[in-house]
Amino acid sequence: MKQTVRCQCGALYEREEHQTVVRWRDAFNCVVCGREIEDWSRSRRAIFRLIRRPVSLPERPPSG
Ligand SMILES: [Zn+2]
């Protein structure tokens, strides 16, 4: 079952739960703003795919 999840920064993700997935991460952070979108227990995992970026991107870090 697929859902769409929206981050506070405006990024839109497709979320799909998997019960038997190869070892995955314990949490998912937004690839755009870095905010944690979801953390889950070891029995339930979800995969997120970025399907739409926010209109206004956050400022880039001042690292060169
Ligand atoms: Zn975000």
For residue 43, what pLDDT is reported?
Answer: 59
Between 6 and 61, where is the model more confident? 6
What is the Å distance from ligand 1's center to 1 Cα? 22
Which tens digits make up the pLDDT trace of 2-54?
A: 899 999 999 999 998 876 655 555 788 999 999 999 887 655 678 889 999 88
What is the Å distance from ligand 1's center to 64 Cα? 22
- Give the tokens for residue 2: 């697929």
What is the Å distance from ligand 1's center to 40 Cα? 18
Rg of the chain (C-alpha set): 13
Assess if residue 64 is contained within a domain.
Answer: no
Assess if residue 37 is contained within a domain.
Answer: yes
Assess if residue 48 is contained within a domain.
Answer: yes
Supply the range of the domain harboring residue 14: 2-52
Q: Into how many domains does the chain fold? A: 1
**47 in Cβ contact with 21 (< 8 Å):** yes
Assess if residue 60 is contained within a domain.
Answer: no
